[in-house]
């Protein structure tokens, strides 16, 4: 285990020297964001403090660059526990060279993923394509690596109602909807969502974000949190040998992981320690709200579905979402302002035809042409009409007797 004097702190020193001071098989995750071999000098000034930070990413040759990183990567493998993992952050300048070295050190068989971090950038780019992504190589020390599966929401363009139906091979060997003895479509069990892919769309830090500290090449805390959550548990140890402004350590601390950061710049170390004291983390509206370009739901429909914790369904006139109930899925239709309650009932009935739902729900939002009593099963169907809260209040107010005026 790592000595307690090296846990939850930032060390000022060379990455290779500090890593050699750590015992073998003592670290669960190493994230490296080293120089990229850009052959540039990077500098930035903090908008709030006026402090300037800079570092050189210039090398005499590619050989000199690799001579810096290869010994560090060998030490990384030594300090990792058997189920540990390493994430190496790089970009187009030297990613292909680093991939070859990682294969040599960790083994081709322990390569897990190449993560593409994509973001929107605005630039007066020279001739050629605008660079708007970076690469992160994900390797493990062994096949028994720790991995916490993360699921994401379905894309707004996905036909959820089709995904949630079981499929099977028919007599012709083609994939078709599975049906029971009555000929009804068999519904699949509740699904957790889409497994996290290797393309991450996480916004670059806004220049005015509270999280911004003025350090060049600063990464978003949300980006590091995603990596840390994937391959570690609470109490695990995370190491960053080129920690810069300390983003990895801030992310680790926010997730109750131990950390050990290393950087040779005294200014960077001082800044990282300050960030660990203040723990300022910005919330990305894009990450919290998601990409809604394909969403057909208006604000009211979205809020109703959210209040029901329902899975939204797009491009379906009869079903707006599914409610999870005891492993089953219940379709929900929200009556539109332009629809009568009869229209809404007919639409959900049509969309549910041939599918053995345990129940069907219509959220009533107006009284126009309502032929049935709200909250009751309609005819011989299992559609249940539930008045929206605002409609219930309106109905209650309309039933209140007005006081008689004194003569």
pLDDT digits (tens, 9 = 90+) for 312-361: 888 788 999 999 888 788 999 999 988 888 889 989 988 888 888 888 99
In a shared domain, residues 327 and 378 = yes
In a shared domain, residues 353 and 227 = no
CATH number of 308's domain: 3.40.1350
In a shared domain, residues 202 and 327 = no
pLDDT digits (tens, 9 = 90+) for 252-309: 999 999 999 999 999 999 999 999 999 998 876 555 555 554 467 788 888 899 888 8
Q: What is the pTM of this model?
A: 0.69
Asked if residue 371 belongs to a domain, the reply is yes
pLDDT digits (tens, 9 = 90+) for 350-399: 888 888 888 899 999 888 765 544 444 444 457 899 998 877 787 777 77
Asked if residue 168 belongs to a domain, the reply is no
Asked if residue 64 belongs to a domain, the reply is yes
* Domain end position, chosen among 228, 258, 286: 286
In a shared domain, residues 216 and 105 = yes
Asked if residue 370 belongs to a domain, the reply is yes
Tokens of 296: 């057909």
Q: Determine contact, residues 58/39, Cβ cutoff 8 Å.
A: yes
In a shared domain, residues 108 and 227 = yes
In a shared domain, residues 217 and 339 = no
Asked if residue 350 belongs to a domain, the reply is yes
Distance (Å, whole) CA 167 – CA 94: 45
Instruction: Specify the pLDDT at position 287.
Output: 57
CATH number of 206's domain: 3.40.50.150
Choose the weakest-confidence range: 36-50, 90-104, 325-339.
Answer: 36-50
Of the candidates 353, 357, 402, 406, the one whose C-alpha atom is nearest the C-alpha of residue 384 is: 357
pLDDT digits (tens, 9 = 90+) for 8-19: 999 999 999 999
Distance (Å, whole) CA 190 – CA 160: 11
Distance (Å, whole) CA 260 – CA 58: 26
In a shared domain, residues 259 and 377 = no
pLDDT digits (tens, 9 = 90+) for 177-231: 777 777 777 776 666 778 999 999 888 887 778 888 878 788 999 999 999 999 9
First CA to last CA across the chain, in angstroms?
90
Between 208 and 94, whose confidence is greater?
94
* Domain end position, chosen among 230, 253, 286: 286
Instruction: Specify the pLDDT at position 402.
Output: 62
Range of the domain at 247: 4-150+196-286
* Domain end position, chosen among 226, 259, 286: 286
User: Residue 355: beta bridge partners?
Assistant: 185
Asked if residue 165 belongs to a domain, the reply is no
Asked if residue 22 belongs to a domain, the reply is yes
In a shared domain, residues 282 and 304 = no
Q: What is the DSSP string of 281-306?
A: -PPPHHHHH---TT----HHHHHHHH
Asked if residue 311 belongs to a domain, the reply is yes
In a shared domain, residues 51 and 107 = yes
What are the angstrom distances between the C-alpha of 69 and each of 16, 33, 94?
Answer: 9, 11, 11
Is residue 59 scored above 60 in pLDDT? yes
In a shared domain, residues 301 and 282 = no
Q: Determine contact, residues 12/244, Cβ cutoff 8 Å.
A: no
In a shared domain, residues 220 and 345 = no
Number of domains in the chain: 2
In a shared domain, residues 299 and 282 = no
Is residue 163 scored above 80 in pLDDT? no
């Amino acid at each position: 285990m790592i000595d307690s004097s090296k846990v939850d702190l930032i060390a000022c020193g060379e990455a290779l020297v500090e890593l050699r001071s750590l015992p073998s098989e003592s670290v669960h995750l190493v994230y490296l964001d080293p120089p990229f071999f850009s052959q540039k000098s990077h500098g930035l000034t903090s908008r709030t403090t006026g402090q300037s930070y800079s570092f050189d990413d210039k090398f005499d040759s590619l050989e000199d660059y690799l001579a810096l990183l290869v010994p560090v990567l060998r030490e990384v493998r030594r300090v990792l526990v058997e189920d540990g993992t390493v994430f190496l952050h790089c970009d187009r300048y030297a990613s292909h060279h680093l991939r070859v070295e990682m294969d040599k050190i960790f083994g081709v068989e322990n390569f897990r993923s190449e993560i593409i971090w994509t973001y929107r950038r605005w630039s007066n780019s020279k001739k050629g394509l605008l660079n708007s992504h970076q690469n992160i190589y994900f390797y493990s020390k062994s096949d028994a690596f720790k991995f916490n599966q993360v699921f994401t929401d379905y894309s707004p363009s996905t036909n959820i109602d089709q995904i949630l139906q079981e499929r099977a091979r028919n007599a012709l060997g083609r994939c078709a909807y599975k049906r029971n003895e009555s000929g009804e479509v068999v519904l699949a069990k509740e699904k957790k969502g889409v497994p996290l892919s290797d393309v991450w769309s996480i916004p670059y830090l806004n220049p005015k974000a509270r999280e911004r500290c003025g350090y060049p090449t600063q990464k978003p805390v949300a980006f590091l949190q995603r990596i840390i959550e994937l391959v570690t548990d609470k109490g695990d140890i995370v190491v960053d040998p080129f920690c810069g402004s300390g983003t990895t350590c801030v992310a680790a601390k926010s997730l109750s992981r131990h950390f050990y950061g290393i950087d040779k710049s005294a200014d960077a170390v001082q800044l990282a320690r300050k960030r660990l004291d203040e723990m300022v983390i910005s919330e990305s509206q894009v990450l919290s709200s998601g990409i809604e370009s394909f969403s057909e739901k208006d604000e009211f429909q979205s809020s109703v579905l959210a209040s029901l914790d329902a899975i939204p369904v797009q491009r379906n006139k009869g079903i707006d979402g599914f409610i999870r109930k005891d492993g089953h899925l219940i379709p929900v239709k929200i009556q539109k302002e332009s629809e009568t309650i009869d229209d809404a009932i007919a639409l959900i009935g049509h969309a549910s035809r041939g599918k053995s739902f345990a129940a069907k729900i219509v959220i009533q939002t107006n009284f126009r042409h309502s032929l049935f009593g709200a909250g009751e099963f309609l005819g011989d169907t299992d559609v249940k009409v539930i008045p929206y809260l605002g409609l219930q209040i309106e109905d209650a107010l309309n039933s209140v007797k007005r006081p008689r005026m004194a003569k």
